[in-house]
Structure 1
Amino acid sequence: MGTLKDVPKAVWMLAFGIFFNSVVACTFIYLFVYLTSERGLSVPQAGLLSGIGGVGIVAGNFTGGWFGDRYGHRRTLLCAAVLAGAGLVVLPLLPIAALYVVLPLCDYAQGAVRASNSALIAVSVTDGSRRQGFAVMRVAGNAGFTVGAPLGALVAAHFSYTVVFVADGIGTLLFALYAARVLPARGAARAARGRHAPAQKSIWRELRARPAVLVLLVSIFFADIVYRQLFSTVPVYLGDHGIDTRVYGWLLALSGGVILCLELPAAVALRKRAPLAIVGTGLILVGLGYGLLRFGATIALATAMMLLLTAGEILYKTPATAYVADQAPEHAQGRFQSLYAGVSVSGVILAPPLGGALYAAAPALLWPLSAALAVAAGLAVLAAGRMRTPGESAGQSAGECRDGRPPAETGSPTRASAG
């Protein structure tokens, strides 16, 4: 298994662009207040627009890789980034009615950018180093968000939220220009089609041949609904128990700091461990974190919850993404990444309404049910680690080969160009 030295230069260059784009791409945090203050929308109208935007994000994640497999991941990334950036730049000039079209399109394009980033990492890094490659991408994104969120608030306070959105648009266009210059122009997906087109199967047949991947995708779908309670019902719950919003902000900052410090070292240290065992353990830690809230809401319990959630996130997100990439056939790498990207943001749409409804109807059930769902997802992934996958011989599991490495997919890319 490799180390960070085996992550190719193109990935580091892309990661720098992701960092820069994440610094400016903080508008989703301020969308609701922008719509209700500077655009004068009512709370229901702003909620509807935000919800439609969430659908756009998820749809973009689900389909970005499909376009990449057909037209090239580099080309898809550039087109989506230009579309998102141009839409955000002109957003302040548009009438209210046009927002119902342009905002979802911007969100869709941003979701497609996310899926394309993942697909580019998947086709650019050797099988044994994909965890490190995805860890580099996640650290870059988290670092950019850590800088961008308070910077956006500062810009909004001194100027306006309109400036924040225009800056996001300009930054996204600059990211597209940067990516066009640093990413190789040849498309791995196009080359793969030329070599293997006659043997290609439908995506569903490929998934049915990989039951462990299916189990992982379903588990991540439910786990993300649980995980994203952190951004919906958790602050409400803490506030209802007298914990100031500033404490919640510090908890998020603590989580971001731990991720920035530990995600890359963890990816390197655990690179020889079976991926599904790591993912399952991470999901269980998420469940245990929410289980702590069953005992009350104190600063100590909230801090312990956040640390468990952060440890779980570090353990499950990067290895899960890399595992899907390792199991994907060459001609469907983008579509496999899109499936994972889509289920991994499912909570954006489902977590607030489901968690909010349960919290309103039976608040005592929310945290035990959340904990049970995440633990069940983790146990399912652990069980999936014993399933056979294509290319494995008897005695090898979906989690690990005899030498400790993830199983190599027959025909999977070793070092394709990032196109």
Structure 2
Amino acid sequence: MRALTATHFVARAGGMARSFLVLYLTQEVGLSPTTAGAVIAAVGVGDIGSQLLGGWLGDRIGRRNAMLVGFLGTAVALIALGSAKTLPAICAAAVGVGLMAELFRPVGSAAVADLPAQERLPAYGLLFWAANLGFTVSTVAAGVLVRQGYGILFWINAAASVLAALIVWRHVPETRPPTRKATRRALLPVLRLDPLMLAMVAIHVVYFTMFLQSFSTLPLVMAGDGHGPGAYSAVLALNGIAIVVVQPIAVRLLDGRDTASVLAASMLLVGVGGGLSAAVHSGAAYAGSIIVWTLGQIGVSVLFGATFAGLAPADLRGRYMGVASTTWSLGAVLGPLLGTALLDHAGRTALWTACLATGLLLFAAQRAVAPALRRRTSVPAYDVNPNRPPS
């Protein structure tokens, strides 16, 4: 776990380019907010393929080899994106970044899902903590480095991806359980007969569409209030610091709690945090709304991996975790498109009011699936029997 944790920290600590991509595209490249949103959505399109490809590769060539492909491919794609000058080239490179940069997410999740069930929640919590510690380092450093221009962020991000690949190559063991060819099943026939998994996927797509306004429309709204990249960097750093401090406590507090109830309350908190942004203008007020937002984010993120791992058959863990991670990617496509369009045509108040309404909707939806989720996750035999159909 220590080596896997280190890769998450390094990848996030060096992941400076994506957080500032919308500002790079609008301020340096000169794209309109709507066009910049479309480019960010192109990254999200790549993300979708990344999650599915990562899950498939993790089950086929092993967790370790799939991570190597992802990290090395990320370095190449980032250099291409930072060097692209025309809109078609920018969009193509953006898809490549998405396709490679998130490949490690479903693969790492599958590696943790290979652990005994009782070890998963703290292990997922550790990965989440390390990633956000790296994210905090990234945002603070990027806020300083961006004064030298946005280009340096792409090169640092690429170098961090190469370093993460080296850690995997030298220190991360293979965890994929052996599976006989005769017992291998295709994903889609199993998934089609798993209504609970499909419902959880739909809920999380909507959640991430709402949550990812923090990277697509929040920097634009803050810029409209006269706050520069440094202020946005500070807000993101506050988010990361809060996670680093609170998340280890949350893992202990949430262990053994009712998963559906925690997820419902957490998604509602994210919606409330977004709703508060409709009325704030000062840096301190934005910080307050982000703290509310972050508390909900912690609840969802701590339970996300363990929840979907509990739904996955043993022989389909990589692909189930890939489908779960795709919810983030779909949100990364829908979030910028819907958020920037709503901001352009209806204004900030409508945007953040929609976030609040979405939080309320997600609370109701998560409560509706709560009984089925409790029944499913209380049957440990499901996790180890690849021939048992989903209930």
Q: TM-score normalised by the shorter chain: which range applies?
A: 0.7 to 0.9
Whole-angstrom CA distance in 2 between matches of 1:37 and 1:281: 37
Partner of 1:397: 375
Q: In the alignment, is the contact (CA less than 8 A) between 1:24 and 1:152 conserved in 2?
A: no
Partner of 1:175: 164
Partner of 2:110: 119
Q: In the alignment, is the contact (CA less than 8 A) between 1:327 and 1:409 conserved in 2?
A: no
Q: In the alignment, is the contact (CA less than 8 A) between 1:292 and 1:305 conserved in 2?
A: yes
Whole-angstrom CA distance in 2 between matches of 1:296 and 1:171: 35
- TM-score, normalized by length of structure 2? 0.85
Match of 2:31 among 20, 30, 43: 43
Whole-angstrom CA distance in 2 between matches of 1:238 and 1:140: 28
Whole-angstrom CA distance in 2 between matches of 1:272 and 1:157: 46
* Shift, 1:33, TM fit: 5.7
* Shift, 1:246, TM fit: 5.8
Q: 2:176 corresponds to which letter in structure 1?
A: A
- TM-score, normalized by length of structure 1? 0.80
What RMSD over aligned residues (CA atoms) do the two structures have, in Å? Answer: 3.1
Whole-angstrom CA distance in 2 between matches of 1:356 and 1:34: 16
1:272 alignment partner, SS class: coil
- When residues 387 and 54 of structure 1 are mapped into structure 2, their CA distance, relative to the original with a 3 A threshold, is closer
What do the CA deviations read for 1:114-146 (whole angstroms, capped 9, x no partner)? 2222222222x2212212111111111111121
2:210 alignment partner, SS class: helix
Count of residue pairs brought into register by the alignment: 381
1:265 counterpart = 2:255: no
2:380 alignment partner, SS class: coil
- When residues 320 and 163 of structure 1 are mapped into structure 2, their CA distance, relative to the original with a 3 A threshold, is closer
Whole-angstrom CA distance in 2 between matches of 1:91 and 1:293: 31
- Structure 1: gaps spanning 5 or more residues: 1-10, 389-395, 402-406, 414-419
* Shift, 1:307, TM fit: 2.2
Q: In the alignment, is the contact (CA less than 8 A) between 1:277 and 1:382 conserved in 2?
A: yes
Larger radius of gyration: 1
* Shift, 1:215, TM fit: 1.7
Structure 1 window deviating more from structure 2 (88-97 vs 336-345): it is 88-97
Q: 2:382 corresponds to which letter in structure 1?
A: T
Whole-angstrom CA distance in 1 between matches of 2:259 and 2:345: 38
Partner of 2:54: 64
- When residues 266 and 82 of structure 1 are mapped into structure 2, their CA distance, relative to the original with a 3 A threshold, is same
Q: 1:377 corresponds to which letter in structure 2?
A: L
Whole-angstrom CA distance in 1 between matches of 2:257 and 2:359: 21
1:346 alignment partner, SS class: helix
Matches within 5 A, 1:14-413: 14-31=4-21, 41-43=29-31, 49-89=39-79, 101-123=92-114, 125-158=115-148, 160-185=149-174, 188-189=176-177, 191-192=178-179, 194=180, 197-237=181-221, 240=224, 248-293=232-277, 302-363=286-347, 364-387=349-372, 397-398=375-376, 401=378, 407-412=379-384
Q: 2:354 corresponds to which letter in structure 1?
A: L
- Structure 2: gaps spanning 5 or more residues: 386-391
* Shift, 1:222, TM fit: 0.6
* Shift, 1:381, TM fit: 1.6
Whole-angstrom CA distance in 1 between matches of 2:313 and 2:7: 27
